Each structure stands twice: as C-alpha cells, then as structure tokens.
Amino acid sequence: MLRNPVLSRRAAFAALSVPAVSALASAARAAPLGDASGFRDVCFLTPQSIERPFYLDPRLVRAQIAEGRTGVPLRVDLRVIDGATCKPSERARVDIWHADAQGIYSGYQGQGDKQDISTVGQKFLRGTQITNSEGAVRFETIYPGWYTGRATHIHFKVLLDDRNVLTGQMYFPDAVNEFI
C-alpha cells in the first residue's frame, strides 16, 4: 500500500483503482456493483491529466452509455478512494467519455479523416455515476477507437465537490488494442 502524507488533500483525494476493464460481453454478468470484492486492496495516486478533447458536462447520470454504437462490449469499473486515508470516497461524481470504435466523439463537428463528420447534439459514450459506499462505479460501454495522434483511451473526471476535481485518462495496452 502506497501513501504520501505530505500531499495535500486536494492532490491526494482521487486515487483510482481500475481493477477490471473487461472487453468480454460475459463480464457483464459478474458480481453486482455493490460487491467491491473485485477491487484489489491497493492505494495509489492517479496523476492529473488534460481534459481535452471534447469534454461536455451534460450530467448524463447513467451506466449504459453506448446508445447503440457498435463495437466490442466493455465494462469499466472504477473506484475512488481518498489518497490520504485509502478509504473509499462515497458520493463522488465520476464522468467518463470516449470516442466510438471509429474514433468519433459525440457532441462535436469537424471529425474524421476528412473532418466532415458532425455529432453535434448527440451524447453517445458519455456518462456520469455517483460512487457507492465502496467508492465504486460501473459503466457499460464499447471499446474505444483510435484516432490520429492519440493512443486508445477513455477520459474521466472525478468530482468530490466544486473545488476537488481530478481529470485523467485510462490507456489500454497495445496487445489488447491489436487483439480487438
């Protein structure tokens, strides 16, 4: 277990544990969200990252975010813990957003190789969940696509309150990307 007591609460509040990101459709039948037994007993800090591209704040409180987009089913389980105490952070807001299998984000124009795709007004692959007593949230989505200049990733934002926010990105191993 890693701890750094010299970090401020603001810098340390949002340690995330990403124990399971399963690209198998059968994973959706795994343990219920309330069961945190799938999380490893590890406390580590997630570094701050850039918010871009394409963050919207539509406050779409939902776990199912694919909205019919085609792709490999993906379940994303996240856990928010207090970096100073390694205890779960209940009632934290967790937003995720990512590109579809073709590398297109919802809500924006000028996308694609020819910059001729517009998804203005659409909200696919975006969602918000509030952490439970174990600090856990779960999203059902599809595996994100790649686009020029970026590794395959999912954006996230964790909000404990108006002043304590962490923005980051989850990346996927090249071997998994190639397999999918």
Read out DSSP for 105-174? -TT-SSBTTTT-B--TT--TTEEEEE--TTSEEEEEEEPPPPBTTB-SEEEEEEESSSS-EEEEEEE--H
Q: Which helix (H) or strand (E) holds 141?
A: strand 136-142
Residues 6+ apart with CB under 8 A from 154: 76, 96, 97, 98, 141, 144, 169, 170
Torsion sign, CA atoms 149, 151, 157, 158 = negative
Residue ranges in the chain whose pLDDT is less than 50: 1-37
- Cβ contact 22:73 at 8 Å: no
What's the pLDDT at 54? Answer: 63
Q: Can you give the pTM of this predicted structure?
A: 0.73
Residue type at 96 in one-letter notation = I
Residue 149 phi/psi, 5-degree rounding, is 85, 0
Closest C-alpha to 142, from 72, 63, 60: 72
Q: Where are the domains of the chain?
A: 9-23+42-179
Tell me how long the chain is: 180
Instruction: State in words which class domain 9-23+42-179 has.
Output: mainly beta
Cα within 13 Å of Cα(24), Cβ side:
5
Can you give the pLDDT at residue 24? 30
**Quick one: residue 32, left, alpha or beta (phi over 0 = left, psi -120 to 50 = alpha)?**
beta
